Amino acid sequence: MPSLITHSPILIIAIPLAAAFLTLPIGMASRKARNALVIVSLAFVVFLVFALARDISINGIHVYTLGATSPDLTIPKGFMVPVRIILEVDSMSVLMGIIWSIVALAAAIFSLSHIANETGQNRFYTLLLLMVAGGFGIMFTGDLFNLFVFLEITSISGAALIAFRTRFADAQEGGFKYIVVSAIASLMVLFAIGLLYAQYNLLNIGALAQVIQYTTLDKIALALLVIAFTIKAGMVPLHLWLPDAYSVAPASITGMLLITSHACMYAAFRVCFTLYGGMLNTPVVGWIIIIFGLLSMFVGVTMALIQKDVMRFMSYHAISQLGYMWVGVGVGLAVLGNAGLVDSYGKAAMSGGIFHILNDAMYMPLLFFIGGALFHCTGTRDFTQMGGLAHKLKWTTILFIIGSLCISGIPPFNGFSSKILIYESVYQFHPILTIAGIIVSILILASFIKVFHSAFMGAELSEYKAVKEVPRSMIIAMVILAAGIVFITLFPSLIVNWTIHPASDALINQGGYINAVTGAIP
């Protein structure tokens, strides 16, 4: 068991990768065996991530060197800088890992019925497992170029999965836009990595953080890195591709793509907080992030109000929720240079933003899955043609009510817990941010009432008389996420103390990250 925990970072990346390659031959033999392989491997990964999280909370940052004689031999004899690819898992990374593993498991269970009538299902599950492996790579790596490689793996498999249902023309268009946007963003990241390597001869994030100065080329690299991850995360005004791609994908894949954009947001925070740390001009970069967040909150919800397609509606809401997270963490970044302000409201703002990442990852995939369930039942994504579905789809209606109350920030649900953390602390920084947040919450509630009334309420329509409740595996997947929501609703302080406060401490504590890689400074 101890060696399982020691090797868990690479096992968490390797098990989905191995299962991806095994899915094709096993799938050709038996369908049930392939489904069992996918679900069992993802469930084992969930167990490993929770074990790793417990180990990190006891023992601190977990470092794993690939290919060395012992996993924590980061600097071998005779070398002065870390060599080999190093996976470095701190509390923030493992929080993202927990989110990704739970949502991946729910998405795989959802896919069991959602794509049950498609051809080429073996390739679907192969791509899904590759995407899971790629996502874990983004979250666990401590090396810039490794980040680029896993970013590309996730993007390529994500784009192939969006365009998977080749009978839909708009799915092809969404997949094309996603891969072009991802290719350009990844090339910007590669250019910035080249700029940093040219100056410092280092690729490891911890080692670079020790020697980086804020020269002109570093500023250009910072702009390229932050904007590239912002493009992939989908913030206004760089969000234009996101509704096109997320609305046409199979609903389980949309849930996973959402967590991929959270992972790219995590990569942007890793660059700002850990790679550059106190060297960068924190008020300016903080305010840039806050302005992106404000624009996203507002444009996201106002564009969502006029949509007619239910998945497009949910993706604009995803953009708006990402804005909340960026405002919270941006306030933390803006006051990073000032230790007194960090203690008084900076850390609370960052905790609010990171808690909102966790909450959003629970209710937003649930809402996407409900959109997929509606598409599965009625054959259309247009909710202006739906009506009276609450008579037949009872479970889906209850889960939709829970999801929409969570996203609007209505007490006692988990959306309210994280939003109140953000509002109370961001108010100290500048009151306009809280006011904008509350107005956006009201508009979110209004838009969900509109969808709920139009699609679920009303008399039963004659064209939907043959509609039955969604298949059982879809309900199970949605209930997994709803169970997470209920757990976080009832015990927010436990979750915050166990996972969120350590995560925001880990982001602020650049020195700890560097020491874990370079060894304690004698």
Partner 1 sequence: MTFILESGYAFWNPIILIIVFIVTMVIVYFFRRRGQENYKKDTDQAQIFLCGEEVPEAEQRHVRAGNIYWGFFETLKEYYNQILRPHTGIINDYVLWFIAVTAIIAIILLIAGLGT
Partner 2 sequence: MEHIPFNFPFLAAALLVGISLYIIIFKKNLIKLIMGVAMLASGVNLFLVALGYRAGGASPIYTNVLERPMVLPVPQALTLTSIVINVAVLALMLTIVIRIYRHTGSLDSEKSRKMKG
Name the residues that contact partner 1, by CB under 8 A. Answer: 176-177, 180-181, 184-185, 188, 214, 216, 219-220, 222-224, 226-227, 231, 237-238, 240-241, 244, 281, 284-285, 288, 299, 302-303, 305-306, 308, 344-345, 348, 352, 383-385, 387-388, 411-412, 416-417, 420-421, 424-425, 446, 450-451, 453-455, 458-459, 461-462, 489-494, 496-497
DSSP state of 278: G
Peptide bond just before 412 cis, omega within 30 deg: yes
Contact status: 244 vs partner 2 (CB under 8 A): yes
**Can you tell me which of 197, 200, 487, 491 binds partner 2, judged by CB under 8 A?**
197
Q: What is the 3-state secondary structure (H, E, C) of 27-52?
A: HHHCHHHHHHHHHHHHHHHHHHHHHH
Residue 200 binds partner 2 (CB under 8 A): no
Tell me which of partner 1, partner 2, none is bound by residue 288, counting a contact when its beta carbon lies within the kind-specific cut-off of 5 to 8 angstroms: partner 1
**Residue 175's binding partner, choosing from partner 2, partner 1, none, with beta-carbon cut-off 5 to 8 A by kind?**
partner 2
Q: Which of 141, 450, 192, 181 is nearest to 301 (CA)?
A: 450
Residue 73 lies near partner 2 (rule: CB under 8 A): no
Q: Does 218 bind partner 2 (CB under 8 A)?
A: no
What is the spatial distance between Cα 66 and Cα 362, in angstroms, rounded to a whole number? Answer: 32
Total residues interacting with partner 2, rule: CB under 8 A = 38
Identify the CA nearest to 517 among candidates 98, 52, 68. Answer: 68
Report what 105 binds from partner 1, partner 2, none; CB cut-off 5-8 Å by kind. none
Shortest distance, position 104 Cβ to partner 1, whole Å: 28
Alpha-carbon distance of 311 to 325, in angstroms, equals 21
CB of 422 to partner 1, least distance (A): 9
CB of 334 to partner 2, least distance (A): 31
Interacting partner of 203 out of partner 1, partner 2, none (Cβ under 5 to 8 A depending on kind): partner 2
Closer by beta carbon to partner 1, 89 or else 195: 195
Residue 192 to residue 285: CA distance in whole angstroms? 17
Give the separation between CA 373 and CA 473, rounded to whole angstroms.
11
Grouping H, G, I as helix, E, B as strand and the rest as coil, residue 404 is helix
Least CB distance to partner 1 at residue 360 (A): 17
> Looking at beta carbons only, is 28 or 494 nearer to partner 1?
494
Nearer to partner 1, 142 or 387 (CB): 387
Q: How far is CA 243 from the centre of its chain?
A: 16
Rounded Cα distance between 361 and 194, Å, is 33
Instruction: Give the span between the Cα atoms of 11 and 381, in whole angstroms.
Output: 39
Q: Does 172 bind partner 2 (CB under 8 A)?
A: yes
**For the chain, what is the radius of gyration of the CA atoms?**
22
For residue 92, the number of C-alpha atoms closer than 13 Å in the C-beta half-sphere is: 30
Structure tokens at 119: 């051809």
C-alpha distances (whole Å) from 227 to each of 9, 125, 185, 197, 220 are 28, 31, 8, 19, 11
Q: Measuring CA to CA, which residue among 168, 183, 324, 308 is closest to residue 241?
A: 183
Which residue stretch of 93-101, 147-155, 319-327, 442-450 sits at the interface with partner 2 (rule: CB under 8 A)? 147-155
- Considering only CA atoms, which of 345, 153, 318 is closest in space to residue 236? 318
Residue 432 interacts with, from partner 1, partner 2, none (CB under 5-8 Å by kind): none
Q: Does 380 bind partner 2 (CB under 8 A)?
A: no
> Which option in partner 2, partner 1, none does residue 247 bind, with CB closer than 5 to 8 A by kind?
partner 2
Q: Of 19, 102, 108, 179, which one interacts with partner 2 (CB under 8 A)?
A: 179
What is the token pair recorded at 91? 């509390």
Residues near partner 2 (CB under 8 A): 145, 149, 152, 155-156, 159-160, 163, 166, 169-170, 172-176, 179-180, 182-184, 186-187, 190-191, 193-194, 197-198, 201, 203, 243-244, 247-248, 303, 306, 312
